[in-house]
Structure 1
Amino acid sequence: METNNKILTIPLEDVHSEHCALIVDDALNKTDGVLSHKVELNNQLAKIEVDSKQFKLGQLTKNIRDLGYNVTTVKKSYPVEGMTCASCAVSVESILSFEEGVISSAVNYANATATVEYVPGLGHPENFKKAIQSIGYDLIIAESENQEDEIQERQNEHYLQLKKRTIAAALFTLPVFLIGMFFMNMPFANEIMWVLATPVLFWFGKNFFINAWKQAKHRKANMDTLVALSTGIAYVFSVFNTLNQEFWHSRGLHAHVYFEAATVVITFILLGKVLEERAKGNTASAIKKLMGLQPKTVTRLTKEGQQEEVKISAVTLGDVLLAKPGEKIAVDGKVISGSSFVDESMISGEPVAVSKNAGDEVFAGTINQKGSLQYSAEKVGSETLLSQIIQMVQNAQGSKAPVQKLVDKIAGIFVPIVLLISIVTLIVWIIFGGENGLTHGLLAMVTVLVIACPCALGLATPTAIMVGVGKGAEKGILIKDAESLERAQKVDTVIFDKTGTITEGKPSVAASLWKEENAFLTAVLFAIEKQSEHPLAEAVVANYSGISTVTVSDFESITGFGVKAKVEGKTYFVGNKRLLDSHQVAIDNYFTNFIANHSQLAHTLLYFSDSEQVLAILAVADKIKETSIEAVRQLKEQGIEVIMLTGDNEQTAASVAKTVGVSRYKAGVLPEDKLSFVKALQSEGKTVAMVGDGVNDSAALAQANVSIAMGKGSDIAMDVAHMTIISSDLLKVSQAILLSRQTVATIKQNLFWAFIYNIIGIPIAAGVLYPINGFLLNPMIAGAAMAMSSVSVVSNSLRLKFRK
């Protein structure tokens, strides 16, 4: 007896104890189709027996992830060849989703890629390729050093071939059109048109028929099906009438031929494809620019100091590289010697070149200007900042906005519905069309098939997303996915963290007052702060650098308060006033005036004490960024409420808020307070964007509807945030929200016109106006309209590139 049972091995992550195994067991028990299971801790895997008809790998993965653990997966994007419309993308996505080992799949018609997440060992790219080939497409899974160049070359070749076929089809179509429209009574007119039309359909337009047949073999249909049916019916009907004119003459009718309609439709659709391919290429211009920043070769210095030119792929960690004037920095690294200015605008969006000297970081793709720099390679290949940005932009451009899910459902049933409408149109014409019912019915049927276009629907969202994400990258705004870009346009409240967001985040000691300063106490303060990772601690360390140190024990960081540690058996504290209050350490009147003066100046006060008394107070200043005031003003102009949260004291918070123009702020908040504050705003119905550094504010960032991380260099918090502002310029926040609004508006425009086009076009093609005014749409005009609908949608998306 045949069984549906299978044994699967699922690799797990972070399952290190019996407790973890019990939790994973719970997830397995909750998953439909799992018959039996065993978690092997040593091998970090689960062996399960499943009923393949009921079991869904995606559901199992979700159940395990919901409990805080993970299944080991691989997520990769592959180029797809042969897709001609949105229905094709739906077909490819559907086939991939049913492949064994696949957790999720998403196909983007606009950039012709399939993103597949699968479990290694269960899912195999070779199987994905075979499955896609079986329905008439192809998946490019082979990787090479120059894969991007090879793909680009293939795309260029495809475009050139398409262009040549279009030109050739037009040359054959022109005489057919002229004869059919103006010289139809000339001798052998039908025969000449037949001869000229045949290569247009079955050579220059052969791919429509080949792809339609491949789809039909798998009981599927796409745009090629519509084109092949419409032109094929027109051609066969015309051939019949050419060979059997008496059949109609004997019935008192004229034997119409529609060779010109069939050829013009093929030519117009080919022309539309040429324009569409060119326009789609322009939507990916941002990613091409980023890829163009990567140099192919670099000058490497040998141990003997000799220069050698090597491929970028040959560079390894620790290599010493030379950047001559005008050359691109090859990899992320640190300057060893030399000084220069480096243009980092294509990564950060900042137009001003940055001074680089020994010890400074440099990033791949940036352009060295006048001086020469020697730098050591610290991150190479996919680890460089530029590579991470390119990968992030590619992922975002290939992701789907929530609205796209509805469009995909419509595209999936669009072609069958159009086929049904065309058949109904023919039947209605035959019944109610009188003596010309059959000819008019066939003409209307062909026109319905020609004018219906799922392409415009399929291109409406992804082309706008690609342009929007690309434009963001060019401006130094990295967007994680399409959903984040769509969600940002709803933001009505922006929360700013203070330190490192509104301010520079590089505090320095402005003043200090000691009860009794001596070398030992200074060394104690220096040693304790050197172990702390807080920005204020860095200011203290920088202020007292170069002094002798002491041994610190029992160091403890108390989040939101400060630190405590022991030196020579005695306990010391460094932190804010709450830290002193929590340990009942009194503040001597000796410090009263110092505290008052520096509080008025909005300086942060750092208290250094033992367990009995305050030993010193340091006033730390953090400069407000030059763009913060303007950024707050712009957000207010957009109708967005701006709020500032800080762990600093009330006086400092009030002073900074007043300076930048923030009317609502909250001081003395801990990380968990920020999280609660975001939740409270959301409970009021607010759509909240949290802007922070992506580390200290991680809980609030995760809770916010849109999280925006401020970061510089290779430490930017890409994993935490929905968006990352590379340059940490607050003006980019309002730009990001405006970009989101413009992109979503473009998507809505595209979808409106795509739907309206089909809603109006299909009934007119079917002949609804004929009883009113005798108008019956010509298939040639329908073909032109169909071709231009896709081009107009892509062109509208491209307008985003030029908007302010």
Structure 2
Amino acid sequence: MTKKTFKISGMHCAGCVRKIELALTKTTGVHAASVNFATESALVEFDEQIVSEIDLAKAVESVGYRLDVAAGETETLSIKVIGMDSPHCAMIVEGALKKLDGVKNTDVDFANQRVKIVFDSSVLSVDTVFKVITDAGYKPIKEEAGTEDLLDKEKIEREKQLSDLKRKLFVGGALSILIFFGSFPEWFSFMPKFLSNNWMLLLLTTPVQFWVGWQFYSGLKLLVKYRTADMNTLIAIGTLAAYFYSAAVTIFPDFFTAGGIMPEIYFDTSAIIIVLILLGKYFEVLMKGRASEAIKKLIGLQPKTAKILKNGKEIEVQIADVVVSDLVVVRPGERIPVDGKITEGDSEIDESMVTGESMPVHKTVGGAVIGSTINKFGTFTFRATKIGKDTVLSQIIKMVEEAQGSKAPIQRLADLVSSYFVPVVIVIAIATFVVWNFFGPVPAFNFALVNFVAVLIIACPCALGLATPMAIMVSSGSAASRGILVKDAASLEIANKINAIVLDKTGTLTEGKPQLTDIVAFEGENQREVLRLAASLEQRSEHSLAQAILHHAAHKEKVELYKLEDFKAISGKGVRGFLQIESQKIEAHFGNRALAADIGLNTAPYEDKIKKLESEGKTVMILAADKKIKGALAVADVLKKESKEAILALKKSGIDVWMLTGDNDRTARAIARQVEIENIMSEVLPDKKSEKVRELQAQGKIVAMVGDGINDAPALTQANVGIAMGEGTDIAMESANITLMRGDLMLIYETIALSKRTMRIIKQNLFWAFFYNSAFVPVAAGLLYPFFGILLNPIFAAAAMAFSSISVVLNSLRLKRAV
């Protein structure tokens, strides 16, 4: 089977999608087809042995569309587009690019101001692509530099944009105040008379109209050259209508006074509208900078240099010159340059920027270190294992960017409305002008013009377009700073609906490695001596249970081991050896009941204590020395300290919590009892985990699966939302929708809480954006005038329009606060 994306031409509405998908799926050899109206492309999975690309093209052509089969040299170009900061802007850029010959596919991500374009380089040049984007009113930057350089370029462009807006606002604001005073001499009698002269007002308004408001004329270029329209088109048409009418009244006054009525002039309307909208734009640019702070902070954390060892000498190199297997030296207070494993030394490392964990983590030889984290105390050397785009930090940045650029299902409605919004508003504005001009009161033309301008200015596709993606952008950035990485916006939306969570036991609920939990001494022995005997016997064993006992003996009790001779591992039962205790050589055994029985020892007197430990889900091993039972040790994969708290929080939220494990039912129930989980799936083989998730989904549950191992990957993929623990395997993280960068189960509760807050903010944004546009456009058209005598002044329309976008951004920024 082959999966391939094709460009589709001729789609004009969402209804076309179904027709094309049906045509493709009915074609023999096609396994699946998914058509994307937004990108005008089709992802087709087909058997090349049965059906060719030409056959696919014919199938699509049969229902009235065109599927482009690749030809010539295909090139992919990634461009940063400064100023493309709303879905409507993205639609304009995408629309302009798609009209170019040779374009095969476009992927527009407004949240990160990025466009990826796949094109036939034999037909289309990069310069032409750049020219089209510039013509549309945006600033393109080719993404060929490193992330840091690109960030610097973007910052320079943003600062330049803000500086330009500030200068224009200062000049435009000063001129608009004079124009306003001059337009109403009856209110401001103290102003000089010459300021009220129409020629003076024309002189003052012209620089505001054509210099301060220059950026809005890209909308006219779009209309003429690409037969599409955006918000700038509305502003340009509206303000130019007011300006040219007023200029005509000034230049040809006799023509307008012929009917005996003194015409009004609207220079103040034109100038003040431009200044108010630019002011809104200025604040929007400022606040959008804050919205994307999280990703900029992450990128800013990357060190620029590293100290590496070459031929025994320490040399400082640029971070780009570090290669895998280089030995890197890090001193206290320095940032770790790349990912790697410690080969010499130890230290406390602050990993809070990646995991969200505030306490430094102790790392020793063999410990993994993450690039860009901070070395607190010791000096150490590590071997580089991942560099450049493969480091953990680079992967986090990529995941956050992808999440910010992805679309939540709830956004589809807003996008669909936005795509038709501007043309509909222009039609409403023209209809308003015609109705008022022919049926309005005297002076009908003046009423018609004012209401025409008000309709064009009040309409705000930006508020509608920003409602969902701005909240997703802030939310995913905020989540990343807490150690929660969301792969896409859809996952963030679905997490809000979760009503069942399946937790894999090992490594998720538990620490994932056995620990010594109990030491029981029999026959008057003391616990320390029992531990010493058991650890001495296990010192040559490689079994994971042995390692747990040895770790406890060495690091917690710090006991000195006896000399071990003639060691033997007895398969499935335990170990045997001779211990040198003082001057005697004593035979000792350590293992299960079967081993005790083999050497003729009766465990019956100790069974109560042994069974009690086993009922708690622990593995019990019996110690015998010199043919006498001395004690027993219990080892278990212990629960994480926050497991119980997290499960109680999830249950209080009304979520069913399930534990999934391969353990036998008795052990599983013992673990579940400790964390108050009633729903247990025990003795589940690794390949059956996804089936268990499917069973819950069949009951109508929205299921989240939480796991950390390779064998969890199918279940993570099957679940509505897959959540991987960041301490787990790369495969688990790739299969999951959400990755938790530290093993704290409370992050699951935080993720769901954040999703609920995000959806609440999105719904508020959409409500106000829809309400604003649906309520105020009719008011601007003069619908209330016949009943209440109310008309909307275009100046107030401009202020309201600017405020609507700002309110959406401000409301979304509330997500930066902790859950």
Given the two structures, how large is their TM-score scaled by the length of structure 1? 0.80
For residues 515-594 of structure 1, what are the structure 2 equivalents within 5 Å?
593=607
Where does residue 283 of structure 2 map in the other structure?
275
Aligned mates of 1:266, 1:399 — CA distance in 2: 33
Matched, 1:751 2:773: no
Output the amino acid matched with 2:814: R
The two structures, once aligned, show a CA RMSD in angstroms of 4.2
Shift of 1:551: 14
Change (3 A) 1:696 1:227: same
Change (3 A) 1:317 1:286: same
Moved more, 105-114 or 393-402: 105-114
Q: 1:776 aligns with which of 785, 791, 798?
A: 791
Output the amino acid matched with 1:416: P
Aligned mates of 1:46, 1:330 — CA distance in 2: 50
Where does residue 172 of structure 2 map in the other structure?
169
Contact 1:710 1:716 in 2 (8 A): no
Provide, for residues 691-730 of structure 1, a one-character-per-residue CA deviation record: whole Å limited to 9, x for no partner: 1114222222111111111122884833110101111100
Aligned mates of 1:761, 1:589 — CA distance in 2: 89
Q: 2:496 aligns with which of 489, 493, 496?
A: 489
Output the amino acid matched with 1:225: T
Aligned mates of 2:551, 2:379 — CA distance in 1: 29
Aligned mates of 2:173, 2:657 — CA distance in 1: 59
Matched, 1:355 2:362: yes
Moved more, 398-407 or 92-101: 92-101
Aligned mates of 1:736, 1:796 — CA distance in 2: 20
Contact 2:96 2:226 in 1 (8 A): no
Aligned mates of 1:714, 1:366 — CA distance in 2: 20
Moved more, 769-778 or 666-675: 666-675
Matched, 1:314 2:311: no
Moved more, 164-173 or 349-358: 164-173
Contact 2:78 2:143 in 1 (8 A): no
For residues 67-466 of structure 1, what are the structure 2 equivalents within 5 Å?
78-83=79-84, 85-94=86-95, 105-115=106-116, 129=130, 132=133, 135=136, 137=138, 139-145=140-146, 146-182=149-185, 186-187=193-194, 189-305=197-313, 307-466=314-473
Matched, 1:625 2:626: no
Contact 1:393 1:479 in 2 (8 A): yes
Change (3 A) 1:99 1:729: farther
SS of the residue 1:718 aligns to: helix
Ranges in structure 2 where 5+ consecutive residues have no aligned partner: 7-26, 36-41, 62-66, 68-73, 521-536, 555-563, 573-591, 595-600, 623-631
Aligned length: 714
Provide, for residues 592-631 of structure 1, a one-character-per-residue CA deviation record: whole Å limited to 9, x for no partner: 9497344223115799xxxxxxxxx996411110110110
Contact 1:9 1:47 in 2 (8 A): no
Shift of 1:636: 1.5
Contact 1:110 1:459 in 2 (8 A): no
Change (3 A) 1:605 1:759: farther
Contact 2:708 2:728 in 1 (8 A): no
Aligned mates of 2:105, 2:236 — CA distance in 1: 32
Aligned mates of 1:431, 1:550 — CA distance in 2: 106
Q: 2:680 aligns with which of 647, 665, 678?
A: 665
SS of the residue 1:308 aligns to: strand
Aligned mates of 2:602, 2:102 — CA distance in 1: 70
Change (3 A) 1:758 1:717: same
Contact 2:725 2:733 in 1 (8 A): no
Output the amino acid matched with 2:784: L
Contact 1:126 1:141 in 2 (8 A): no
Q: 1:725 aligns with which of 732, 740, 744?
A: 740
Shift of 1:109: 3.1
Contact 1:397 1:462 in 2 (8 A): yes
Contact 2:341 2:384 in 1 (8 A): yes
Contact 2:707 2:732 in 1 (8 A): no
Shift of 1:336: 2.4
Contact 2:257 2:263 in 1 (8 A): yes
Moved more, 726-735 or 617-626: 617-626
Moved more, 473-482 or 540-549: 540-549
Moved more, 749-758 or 127-136: 127-136
Contact 1:115 1:398 in 2 (8 A): no
Aligned mates of 2:514, 2:263 — CA distance in 1: 89
Shift of 1:129: 4.8
Contact 2:162 2:282 in 1 (8 A): yes
Where does residue 803 of structure 2 map in the other structure?
788
Shift of 1:167: 2.0
SS of the residue 2:198 aligns to: helix
Contact 1:179 1:193 in 2 (8 A): yes
Output the amino acid matched with 1:154: E
Shift of 1:233: 0.1
Shift of 1:183: 5.5
Given the two structures, how large is their TM-score scaled by the length of structure 2? 0.78
Shift of 1:651: 2.2
Q: 2:671 aligns with which of 656, 668, 675?
A: 656
Output the amino acid matched with 2:804: S
Output the amino acid matched with 1:108: D
Change (3 A) 1:704 1:604: farther
Output the amino acid matched with 2:433: L
Change (3 A) 1:124 1:10: farther
Provide, for residues 102-155 of structure 1, a one-character-per-residue CA deviation record: whole Å limited to 9, x for no partner: 786443334322356789999997776566456554543340132222222222
SS of the residue 1:435 aligns to: coil
Aligned mates of 1:118, 1:410 — CA distance in 2: 29
Instruction: State percent identity of aligned pairs.
Output: 41
Aligned mates of 1:219, 1:268 — CA distance in 2: 27
Contact 1:709 1:723 in 2 (8 A): yes
Aligned mates of 2:565, 2:649 — CA distance in 1: 46
Aligned mates of 1:631, 1:222 — CA distance in 2: 48
Aligned mates of 1:589, 1:131 — CA distance in 2: 88
Moved more, 176-185 or 163-172: 176-185
Change (3 A) 1:381 1:680: same
Where does residue 710 of structure 1 map in the other structure?
725
Shift of 1:371: 2.2
Change (3 A) 1:367 1:93: same
Output the amino acid matched with 2:765: N
Aligned mates of 2:421, 2:47 — CA distance in 1: 45
Where does residue 625 of structure 2 map in the other structure?
none
User: Which structure has the greater CA radius of gyration?
Assistant: 2
Change (3 A) 1:720 1:124: farther
Shift of 1:431: 2.1
Aligned mates of 2:75, 2:405 — CA distance in 1: 16
Moved more, 227-236 or 142-151: 142-151
Provide, for residues 278-313 of structure 1, a one-character-per-residue CA deviation record: whole Å limited to 9, x for no partner: 1111110110111111011122233233x3222111
Output the amino acid matched with 2:347: S
